Amino acid sequence: MPLNRSILPLRAFAPPQVQGLNFATQAILDELVMQWAWKLPRNIERMIYLDAKNKLDDLGVSLPPTLVDKLDVVVGWPEKAVYEVANRIVFEQLQTPDGSDDPFELKRTLRDNRFAIEFPEAVASSLAQSCAFVSTTPGDVSRGEPAALIMFHSALWATGIWDRRRRGLKAGLLISDTDSQGLPIELTIMLPTEHVICTKGANWYVSAVVPHALGRAPMEVLPFRPTTDRPFGRSRIDRTVISLTNRAVRAGARLEVHSELFTTMKLLLMGADEDTFKDANGKPVPFWSFFLGRLNYLSKDEDGDTPKLEQIAAESPEPHIAIARQLGSQFSGHTGVPLSALGISTDNPESEGAKRVGDLSIVGDVEKQHLIYGDALIRSFENAIMIRDGLSQPPDGILDLSIKWRRADRPTLASLADAGAKQVTAIPDLSNTEVGMEMVGMDPDQIARAQAELRRKQGSALVDRLIAARSGSGAAEPDATAQPA
């Protein structure tokens, strides 16, 4: 059953008292639920900004009250802050020093868990909410699940308790199901020796206990910018991003109102009485009907003077545009998102050098996240191998497993090929190796196809040499000293 995504103030949600839990596990559950419920409203707020559903934060100064609820100004800058980094964190493949293309036979496990699709989703959730989680549990093969189930969870529906001594989670909580009101009705407690499933019927009770031999909670945290004091990281949608987004929405609302007034001709009619805008029956004539009429006339006033019509020039919207540009510049400086990506045009486009300098902060964040996410993923893959193969100890060689990430600086194929070709030329033996092909910018599929073709050519050449050798030996004169077979 899919989770109900209702937005509810769940800080008051009390930890359930579960029948069948021992005192220690109940205490862990209490701590987990209180932490999840306390963080949830802030995480929901970040998702609202990510989806550009935040409301206009009116200060009651410059906008007409009747228009506040009608203005639908949307600013998608928080989404840019998240995906400008998320789109650069690309998992390419697992690798080992011996060049194995499928270490520990993980390729099928990852494929069955749709890892290539769900990991980018988890990265976006991690950047938006400061962290995400990945759990590894035994799958129900009879229902078509893989033997080892690798699942990602956002901070909206998962949390954990950090153990500083073990540098990992002491315990984790997964909200597996909710009712129509968005309240949990199924919880999974992840512990170092087992995971416990709790279900709500008439009362909460333990519905299943699944032991494991991992020796640690089968759940890893994927934090963004973690620190010693904040191991669960920080969100890209921080207070600065929220503040700048609110100010940008207000600037957009003021510009919208100004634009409506700007397109309306401002006229000042002097010397006309009220009867001028009444019909023969004395009913008021709408101003727009009078303004759009083909033939209109105005009578002289009581002093015999003709009414005068003057037009008031509209003010330029440039001040509003300048404020939006300034807010965009602040947002770009804080997040590293280019101004052009925010829809801010400038008279002097950025040079390539300036773009590279501005790109450094994002590249640095991505390269750091390669290490942080990579460590959590390797530990999760180790859990999956142990669960799948029924091991009580990590398999030999797991420490040599590493992840190959796509480069964060997004070099062009031409520049990558040029630099790689120079390096390969300096070491000719690299030319037909996998490392050499990577250096010139070939992707994994191209490398696999190229190596397969090289093997076919080498095999054909070997066969040709064997045929030539056999033909040459048959045409030669027999050796008189040779002994009969």
Q: What is the 3-state secondary structure (H, E, C) of 179-203?
A: CCCCCEEEEEEECCCEEEEEEECCC
Looking at the fold, whether 228 and 247 belong to one and the same domain comes out as yes
Print pLDDT tens along the chain (485 aa): 344 444 444 555 788 999 999 999 999 999 999 999 999 999 999 999 999 988 877 776 666 666 667 778 888 999 999 999 999 999 988 988 887 778 898 999 999 999 999 999 999 999 999 999 999 999 999 998 999 999 999 999 999 999 999 999 999 999 998 888 888 899 999 999 999 999 999 899 999 999 999 999 999 999 999 999 999 999 999 999 999 999 998 888 877 777 766 666 666 666 566 666 666 677 776 666 655 555 555 666 556 666 666 666 667 777 878 888 899 989 988 998 888 888 877 666 666 666 666 678 899 999 999 999 999 999 999 999 999 999 989 988 888 899 999 888 876 555 555 555 666 566 666 666 766 666 666 666 666 776 677 777 777 777 777 777 777 665 544 454 545 44
451 by Cβ neighbours in 10 Å (0-12 / 13-18 / 19+) ranks as middle
Among the candidates 410, 429, 463, a domain finishes at 410
Looking at the fold, whether 249 and 291 belong to one and the same domain comes out as no
CB 229 within 8 Å of CB 40: no
Give a yes or no: residue 479 inside a domain.
no
Strand pairing category for 91-95 and 131-138: unpaired
Q: Is 91 helix (H, G, I), strand (E, B) or coil?
A: strand
Does this model's pTM top 0.85? My answer is no
Q: Is 210 helix (H, G, I), strand (E, B) or coil?
A: strand
In tens, the pLDDT along 346-386 reads: 666 666 666 666 678 899 999 999 999 999 999 999 999 99
Give a yes or no: residue 481 inside a domain.
no
Q: Is 88 helix (H, G, I), strand (E, B) or coil?
A: coil
Give a yes or no: residue 175 inside a domain.
yes
Burial of 65-90, coded b for 16+ CB within 10 Å and e otherwise, reads: eeeeeebebebbbbbbbbbbbbebbb
Euclidean distance between the first and the last CA atom of the chain, given in angstroms as a whole number: 78
CB 110 within 8 Å of CB 116: yes
Where are any strands of DSSP class E within 262-305? Answer: 266-270
Looking at the fold, whether 355 and 440 belong to one and the same domain comes out as no
Cα-to-chain-centroid distance, residue 165: 30
Looking at the fold, whether 74 and 189 belong to one and the same domain comes out as yes
Looking at the fold, whether 148 and 262 belong to one and the same domain comes out as yes
The total of other beta-carbon atoms located within 10 Å of residue 366's CB is: 23
The number of distinct structural domains making up the chain is: 3
> Which range of residues forms the domain containing residue 439?
414-473
Contacts of 54 (CB under 8 A, 6+ apart): 48, 245, 246, 249
Looking at the fold, whether 419 and 460 belong to one and the same domain comes out as yes
In tens, the pLDDT along 226-242 reads: 999 999 999 999 999 99
Among the candidates 410, 431, 446, a domain finishes at 410
CB 39 within 8 Å of CB 155: yes
Give a yes or no: residue 480 inside a domain.
no
Give a yes or no: residue 384 inside a domain.
yes
Give a yes or no: residue 478 inside a domain.
no
Task: Determine the number of helices (DSSP H) and then strands (DSSP E) in the chain.
Answer: 12, 12
417 by Cβ neighbours in 10 Å (0-12 / 13-18 / 19+) ranks as middle
Looking at the fold, whether 404 and 465 belong to one and the same domain comes out as no
Looking at the fold, whether 168 and 56 belong to one and the same domain comes out as yes
In tens, the pLDDT along 146-205 reads: 999 999 999 999 999 999 999 999 999 999 988 888 888 999 999 999 999 999 998 999
Among the candidates 363, 381, 410, a domain finishes at 410
Looking at the fold, whether 346 and 240 belong to one and the same domain comes out as yes
Could you give the CA distance from residue 412 to residue 340 in angstroms, rounded to a whole number? 19
Could you give the CA distance from residue 481 to residue 478 in angstroms, rounded to a whole number? 9
Could you give the CA distance from residue 220 to residue 229 in angstroms, rounded to a whole number? 18
Tokens of 235: 């969100």
Looking at the fold, whether 129 and 239 belong to one and the same domain comes out as yes
The total of other beta-carbon atoms located within 10 Å of residue 467's CB is: 10
- Give backbone dihedrals phi and psi of 119, rounded to 5 degrees, phi first: -65, -45
Give a yes or no: residue 482 inside a domain.
no
17 by Cβ neighbours in 10 Å (0-12 / 13-18 / 19+) ranks as exposed
Give a yes or no: residue 484 inside a domain.
no
Looking at the fold, whether 188 and 295 belong to one and the same domain comes out as no
Looking at the fold, whether 248 and 279 belong to one and the same domain comes out as no
CB 454 within 8 Å of CB 433: no
Could you give the CA distance from residue 104 to residue 388 in angstroms, rounded to a whole number? 11
